[in-house]
Chains A and B, each alone.
Chain A
Amino acid sequence: KQEVTQIPAALSVPEGENLVLNCSFTDSAIYNLQWFRQDPGKGLTSLLLIQSSQREQTSGRLNASLDKSSGRSTLYIAASQPGDSATYLCAVLPGGTSYGKLTFGQGTILTVHP
Chain B
Amino acid sequence: KAGVTQTPRYLIKTRGQQVTLSCSPISGHRSVSWYQQTPGQGLQFLFEYFSETQRNKGNFPGRFSGRQFSNSRSEMNVSTLELGDSALYLCASSLAPSDRPGNEQFFGPGTRLTVL
Contact = CB atoms under 8 A, between A and B. Distances in A.
B8 interface: no
A22 interface: no
A41 B33 CA distance: 19
Interface string A43-66: 111100101110000000000000
A31 interface: yes
A102 B104 contact: no
A27 B106 CA distance: 24
Given A42-B110, A107-B42, A101 B56 contact: yes
Contacts, number: 74
Given A102-B33, A104-B43, A34 B105 contact: yes
Interface in B39-54: 42-43, 45, 48
Interface stretch (B13-21, B65-73, B75-83, B94-102): B94-102
Contacts of B48: 100-101
A36 interface: yes
B76 to A, nearest CB: 15
A45 B3 CA distance: 11
Contacts of A43: 4, 6, 90, 107-110
A46 B106 contact: yes
B33 A49 contact: no
A104 B107 contact: no
Contacts of A41: 88, 112
Interface of A: 31-32, 34, 36, 41-46, 49, 51-53, 89, 91, 93, 95, 98-107
Interface of B: 4, 6, 33, 35, 42-43, 45, 48, 55-56, 58, 88, 90, 92, 97-110, 112
Given A31-B100, A43-B107, A102-B98, 10 more contacts: A31-B101, A31-B102, A43-B6, A44-B92, A52-B101, A93-B98, A100-B97, A101-B56, A102-B105, A107-B42
